[in-house]
Amino acid sequence: MVLQARNLTVSMQSGSTRIDVLRDVSFSLAPRKVLGLVGESGAGKSMIGRVISRNLPKQFSIGSGNLSFAGQDLVGSSTESLSALLGDRIAFVPQEPLTALNPLMTVARQFVEHLDRIGVARDHQPQRMAQALREVRLLDPDRVLASYPFQLSGGMCQRVLIAIAFASHPALVVADEPTTALDVSTQATIVQIMRGLQRDHDTALLFITHDLRLAAHVCDEILVLYAGEVVEHGPARAIATAPQHPYTRALQAANPSPSGPLTRLPSLPDNMPGLAGFASLQGCRFAPRCPAAEPACHTQVPALVQTVPGHAVRCPLTDRQQAAAKPALLQTARADSASEVILEARNLSKYFEATRNWFGRREGPGLHAVRPMDFVVRAGEFVGVVGESGSGKSTLARLLMGLETPTSGQISLDGTLLDADTAETRRLRLDTLQMVFQDPQSALNPRRSVEELVTQVMESRMTRLPPEERRQRAKDLLNETGLSPELIDRYPSQLSGGQKQRVNIARALCVTPRLLIADEIVSGLDVSVQAQILNLLLDLKAQREIGLVFISHDLSVVRYLCASMIVMRHGKVVEQGPTEQIFADPQHAYTKALFAAAPPADLDHPWPPEQASLS
């Protein structure tokens, strides 16, 4: 076996209390096999990677159990012997490539540092780097090596990290969410490359993800973790098609389907407890959120038991059928043509001139970020905008918000033409449109409380509410977005990812806008949190008849949420119309390729496709 864990327990010392953050984890990983670690944020997936690299946070320690690599004990081995393995025999592909790569160093310099560390002679390094980059389909290695990370796309940076990881032909690669927030074609390309390299070099792959459907296509076996415990372990196909633990079933149900009837997504209540909360969980750690929990579940820790050979579940109620209510069918019909038009774009385009050098000469061609396009958003209508990175989706959002000036065309809000940037048009935009940003962590000021954040727009108004009325408005907004008013005095660092995104949405709703512009707002969220956010948007639609322009690379999410969709490529609209009609019978070759690049619900359908890249 390449990697083997036996009853591994990792503990944290909190004052006088010792808390098990990983408890009794066991698994085996053979050469050329892929083991998926699946679960929400805080489940303990990345902690296993930290144990392998012995990079545990302060106050954390390995309490008991064993972890071995190729027969060598990783827990008791010396720092020197472990250091010799890391980067050479054991490699890592981190989650965020733009964060993992140093922005002040060229790719070549960072690659050379790695090759120096693993002992590759300097005269062999240029050939090794070029070969590694070609293996990940970067066909102009000289240009890539001379580039800084910010000069490359996110997908290209991720390929650089994969090239660095596989350069030493390691026995084990740990990939931590390597495709999170990437568009469907780039995700398919990354998976295709990693599986190919893994087979070519007989490498074992530990694949960490929150996406059960993706794991089912990529992995041979899946280990489902909840609050530091293995709740289900078995063959990937068996777990994806017939999950037995209530938590695994909840993860599967929370993921929108790309086909079949549309029903409201069930979502788990509350959130996974933080590490400090583990100490209060005396029985099954999932019991407080489990719809099938019985009194004994809160006091007795269930054993991990094989239900069939090779498939183990930590739940005594697996054979019990839950009397769940039939999920409600969604009504996603397009807005009636008689409905009031909120936004209308006609011949809207944006062209960026080429940059000029010190002598005033243009360097390279300009960019048609958005080519002339027409569309309408009516009251209560959700319109999805899909396409790969660089297709013009975010530029379109900036045009609608007035953050960019159109090169041609016009935008009308509530029948008023926004033909100039004046105080009046800015006020109209502020009253009618609000933006919900992709990353709530960077969108929320860490020095402001939740109350100040959700009512921030009031500070720009001529007439400000008295403090007590502003506080009440903040509480009303928290209630409306499914947050407890008790969070009103907390700061972003004290909130979960899903709570931060709800605060982001609450802030956008403060002035009662008629239209929201949402740019990749569920990208990178756990599927359970994603389901909560999507259902919240549907509730707001029903309560307020609010309109939405929803920008996303996730086709299943767009199908679930939006009645109409726009498909963009290289700034151009290639297909536009009712969502269900496009899903049932896409007309443009690019739309068909996008659908083929997304992981299908049917595991018998080969994925990723042979030609994953659409560029």
Residue 447 within a domain: yes
pLDDT, tens digit, 9 for 90 and up, residues 544-584: 889 999 999 889 999 999 999 999 999 999 999 999 999 99
| Burial class, 15, CB count within 10 angstroms (exposed 0-12 / middle 13-18 / buried 19+) | exposed
Rounded distance between C-alpha atoms, residue 612 and residue 615, angstroms: 9
Residue 507 within a domain: yes
Residue 120 within a domain: yes
Per-residue pLDDT averaged across 331-345, rounded? Answer: 74
Rounded distance between C-alpha atoms, residue 164 and residue 143, angstroms: 16
Rounded distance between C-alpha atoms, residue 461 and residue 464, angstroms: 6
Domain total for the chain?
2
Residue 575 within a domain: yes
Name the band, by pLDDT with cuts 50, 70 and 90, for residue 15.
confident
For the chain, the average pLDDT equals 89
pLDDT, tens digit, 9 for 90 and up, residues 57-90: 888 999 899 999 999 999 888 988 999 999 999 9
pLDDT for position 438: 78
Residue 124 within a domain: yes
The yes-or-no verdict on residue 172 having pLDDT over 90 is yes
Domain of residue 126, residue span: 101-167
Strand partners, 27: 5
Residue 267 within a domain: no
Residue 526, domain CATH: 3.40.50.300
Last residue of a domain, one of 167, 192, 208: 167
pTM score of the predicted model: 0.88
The yes-or-no verdict on residue 421 having pLDDT over 50 is yes
pLDDT, tens digit, 9 for 90 and up, residues 579-605: 999 999 999 999 999 999 999 888 888
Residue 90 within a domain: no
Last residue of a domain, one of 148, 167, 186: 167
pLDDT for position 321: 45
Comparing 218-222, 301-305, 611-615, the range with the smallest average pLDDT is: 611-615
Residue % of the chain over a pLDDT of 70:
93
Residue 445 within a domain: yes
Name the band, by pLDDT with cuts 50, 70 and 90, for residue 357.
low
pLDDT, tens digit, 9 for 90 and up, residues 469-494: 899 999 999 988 888 888 999 999 88
Residue whose structure tokens are 């070519």: 200
Last residue of a domain, one of 167, 197, 220: 167
pLDDT for position 474: 93
Q: Which of 298, 257, 254 is nearest to 280 (CA)?
A: 298
The answer to whether residues 419 and 409 touch, using CB atoms and an 8 Å cutoff, is no
pLDDT for position 324: 47
